[in-house]
Structure 1
Amino acid sequence: MTVADILMLFSVICIWSLLLVNVVLIVAGYLYYVQSEGEEIPEIDGEMPFVSIMVPAHNEGIVIVKTVESLLALDYPHDRYEIIVINDNSSDNSGVLLQHLQSKHPSRNLNIISTDSITGGKGKSNALNIGFAQSKGELIAIYDADNTPEKTALRYLVAEIMNDQTLGAVVGKFRTRNRDTNLLTRFINIETLSFQWMAQAGRWKLFKLCTIPGTNFIMRRHIVEHIGGWDVKAIAEDTEISFRIYMMGYRIKFQPKAVTWEQEPQTLKVWFKQRTRWAKGNIYVIVKNARLLFDPSAKNIRFDILYFLSIYFLLLTSLVMSDVLLILHALGYVRTTIAGFSLFLWMLAITMFIVGTYITLITEKGEMRLSNLWIIMLMYVSYCQMWMVVAAYGLYTYLKDLVFKREVKWYKTERY
């Protein structure tokens, strides 16, 4: 067996191992969706807990009014929640728009905190820490500035966390508001439903694990106080804080009925910058928590650590290696006897990807369309391949920042 054969075999085993893990998560996630459809949201006993909703916003004038108005319209007792918008060193008209909203709703608990270049402008984690210092709620909810949550979203999140003391946080689901804008937003919509949320549902069903997204979630105040707030060095602050909640012995539950709608990138440039930030942020979290693999107290979260390590290191390496070897074999530069078998497995993997992705879409109303099959096929040969570039570039920029000891900069997603 040649060196090329050994490398190809290693790549195939790694890719298929992760593919099978993903299949198991999809099946478990699908079962959880079916189960949750038949379950009622628990009732909240006694007085509704007071909730602080925090919205970090930097130059969000295009979307902030719609977001705040949707939060004001939640079907939660108006005297039992406050909205804290952290207008974080904005240079647009966000401040004027927020002041107008405040004067328009004088009887509501709408608090606007404006920062400058000295106190703010340092990323989402810093903004959340500033908002938390002025919050009063026993529960803390977070929404991004481009969100329009459904009226029931907050009530569902509160009901779940108040009826289970083992839960440190409960996350809802976000949907793509601008999914029909262009081909890219349709790809993102499918990715969100099939990979982000189905994986969340599967991990909760199998391991009672779930990772906090950047928006539409609720957590207990005393947890934030105990861990000292958000890590200002983490640009994937949601994943980072999830691991610290795990280590306190709490669970994080996924409740798919609590839905918010958000705006996704509409151009490749904006998408690439956003996803590179996500990749670099998640790599920071992986490196920070890799030691927990050998910590007996972290045995319940080893799956998540291995899962993230495999995706950002093992899968990326295996995909790049196998693609390079197949190209070199076709050009005659290397000789591998299992290239034909690898090609067969590659085609089988594509088939499983298309079928599995389409099956996950049927859990959502309005997504059972035949046209989605063609979109998924096109997605595999284009969008999914771009993920490798994003992950590789995220790793490169992380290492570059580490070597040159550069301060991590936050990139705000452009709105439309």
Structure 2
Amino acid sequence: MFKLYAFILIAGFYTFGVFTRGWDDAWQFSTYLVLLLVQSIAIFFVGYQTIMSYSGLRRFRKTVVKKPANKFAVLVAAHNEEEVIGQICENLKQLDYPNELYDIFVICDNCSDNTSEEVKKSGVHAMVRNDPGKRGKGYGLEWMFDKLWELEKQGTAYDAAVMFDADNLVSKDFLKIVNSKILDGHDVIQGYLDAKNPHDTWVTKSYSFAYWSTNRIYQLARENLGLTAQLGGTGVTVTTKVLKEVGWGATSLTEDLEFTQRYILKTGKRVAWAHDAKLYDEKPLGFKQSFKQRIRWMQGHFDCMTRYSFPLLKDGIIKRKFMLIDSAIYLAMPSRSILALILMIFAGLSYMGIYEANGFLGDIIDRSILFDGWIYGIFVFFYISLPILAMILENKGKKLHWFFISYLFGLSWIPVTLLGFLKKNQKEWAHTKHTRSVSIEELETMHTKKDVLYGQNPIE
């Protein structure tokens, strides 16, 4: 559908050029309009995100912890995770929450290794699923929810389901915090996504920088503004009431993103962000592995964008619900690196006067520069300052030099985005192998030592 829209747009520009400028200048004029459109889109997204993020950059206030009241089904999605599954099972058994108020279930989904045996050794429920025709976490979770409804008929009912990945580690107060959020009236909650191995390689540093900054300038900012957070694939809590009323129904390559849009469209309620409910996620070590992972993310992102952007925008306007419009903009927004690069290119062209070159190309660029280079520079400065400010607020100030490798890594989103768009209709799920096995105590000690080493305090 989007390919058709792009063809119609370009054809429309060319036809307009023919009627207004004649056949000889039609391609030049249509190129000029395309360049203007690219700049206008980039300026809109950069300006919008900058204003929203700065508006929501308030001081973080810890969740007021309430008395444990909700019973949780803690679900761990696992596919061939025998190397790491034991660590999260032990981690979850030691959470600071009454044992009688939560049960742990590991979904051993189409495993060909000893994942289920490792789960059983830890004393946790191993839920074995074999359905090669329906592979992926979305299908596994859908299957598990049916199992929960069966348990409910047998007398074991849960108030909410909490979902993690096999490579995660979870802060001990995680359930206490999401329990408090539910008691505050929220039905869907996303926990803080931290890095399990931030110092390993330049790739893990780039991922970690992106997650830390996004947690602050997007997720927490939206929470402070009363808008919806976006589910991040793990650390997700959903009440069983919502699962029954709305249904999971999210089986795309990015089931978290899909469920977010379905939930806010059907209920008009937002996803809450729990900034102090932390989980640690293993980041890919190598560029090749991360490239494949991000292509899968973008396939799912474009799939959701094509299905939900217009309904969100339409309902947001009709119902005067800005939250829906904001989420539609999120689905359509390119990566930070791509947006900053576009504006820096046009800033350079404007400031250096290259557009004054004679001939066909010079005339096109001359006509397609919207603003003076200094204005572009102001846009870029405030936009790029957002992740830097976020790192300082997250007590990661001594890691600010990671910004440079993070930005270079971010430029790889250009081919990733293109390939994700071209493959958006492909649904083949690819497994990301995890190998980092460490206890939550060792991980938190390591993070604390790193913070002390760099002259910082842990996140409060």
TM-score, with length taken from structure 1:
0.84
1:30 paired with 2:70, answer no
> CA offset at residue 83 of structure 1?
0.6
> 5 Å matches for 1:16-415?
16-31=43-58, 34-37=59-62, 40-44=63-67, 48-102=69-123, 110-118=124-132, 122-135=135-148, 136-164=157-185, 167-232=186-251, 234-246=252-264, 247-289=266-308, 290-295=310-315, 296-297=318-319, 299-312=321-334, 334-335=361-362, 336-337=365-366, 347-365=377-395, 367-369=396-398, 371-372=399-400, 374-380=401-407, 382-398=408-424, 401=425, 408-415=427-434
SS in 2 for 1:36: coil
Equivalent residue, structure 1, for 2:37:
10
In structure 2, C-alpha distance between the alignment counterparts of 1:174 and 1:354, rounded to whole Å: 21
Q: CA 1:20/1:340 → structure 2, altered by over 3 Å: closer, same or farther?
A: closer
In structure 2, C-alpha distance between the alignment counterparts of 1:28 and 1:139, rounded to whole Å: 32
> CA offset at residue 56 of structure 1?
0.9
Q: CA 1:111/1:180 → structure 2, altered by over 3 Å: closer, same or farther?
A: same
SS in 2 for 1:30: coil
SS in 1 for 2:324: helix
Q: CA 1:313/1:83 → structure 2, altered by over 3 Å: closer, same or farther?
A: closer
Q: CA 1:137/1:269 → structure 2, altered by over 3 Å: closer, same or farther?
A: same
Rg larger in structure: 2
In structure 2, C-alpha distance between the alignment counterparts of 1:86 and 1:138, rounded to whole Å: 19
Aligned residue-pair number:
388
Q: CA 1:158/1:231 → structure 2, altered by over 3 Å: closer, same or farther?
A: same
Equivalent residue, structure 1, for 2:457:
none
In structure 1, C-alpha distance between the alignment counterparts of 2:64 and 2:87, rounded to whole Å: 27
> CA offset at residue 21 of structure 1?
1.8
> CA offset at residue 73 of structure 1?
0.8
In structure 1, C-alpha distance between the alignment counterparts of 2:434 and 2:320, rounded to whole Å: 39
In structure 1, C-alpha distance between the alignment counterparts of 2:337 and 2:406, rounded to whole Å: 18
> CA offset at residue 342 of structure 1?
6.8
Deviation per residue, 1:192-237 (Å, 9 max, x gap): 11125420112222242112221112111021112232322x1111
RMSD between aligned residues? 3.1
Given that 1:8 and 1:325 are in contact with CA atoms closer than 8 Å, whether structure 2 keeps it comes out as no
Letter in 1 for 2:411: Q
- Percent identity, aligned pairs only? 21
Q: CA 1:190/1:341 → structure 2, altered by over 3 Å: closer, same or farther?
A: same
In structure 1, C-alpha distance between the alignment counterparts of 2:212 and 2:248, rounded to whole Å: 30
In structure 1, C-alpha distance between the alignment counterparts of 2:347 and 2:217, rounded to whole Å: 32
Given that 1:11 and 1:321 are in contact with CA atoms closer than 8 Å, whether structure 2 keeps it comes out as no
In structure 2, C-alpha distance between the alignment counterparts of 1:263 and 1:25, rounded to whole Å: 29
Q: CA 1:168/1:150 → structure 2, altered by over 3 Å: closer, same or farther?
A: same
Letter in 2 for 1:16: I
In structure 1, C-alpha distance between the alignment counterparts of 2:330 and 2:278, rounded to whole Å: 25
Given that 1:187 and 1:375 are in contact with CA atoms closer than 8 Å, whether structure 2 keeps it comes out as yes
Equivalent residue, structure 1, for 2:9:
none
Given that 1:12 and 1:318 are in contact with CA atoms closer than 8 Å, whether structure 2 keeps it comes out as no
Structure 1 runs not aligned, ≥5 long: 103-109
Given that 1:187 and 1:383 are in contact with CA atoms closer than 8 Å, whether structure 2 keeps it comes out as yes
Letter in 1 for 2:114: N
In structure 1, C-alpha distance between the alignment counterparts of 2:345 and 2:418, rounded to whole Å: 14
In structure 2, C-alpha distance between the alignment counterparts of 1:414 and 1:332, rounded to whole Å: 53
> CA offset at residue 410 of structure 1?
1.2
In structure 1, C-alpha distance between the alignment counterparts of 2:191 and 2:343, rounded to whole Å: 37
Q: CA 1:28/1:157 → structure 2, altered by over 3 Å: closer, same or farther?
A: farther
In structure 1, C-alpha distance between the alignment counterparts of 2:164 and 2:320, rounded to whole Å: 29
Greater RCO, 1 or 2 (C-alpha within 8 Å, sep 6+): 1
> CA offset at residue 354 of structure 1?
3.9
Letter in 2 for 1:386: S
Letter in 1 for 2:130: D
> CA offset at residue 9 of structure 1?
3.3
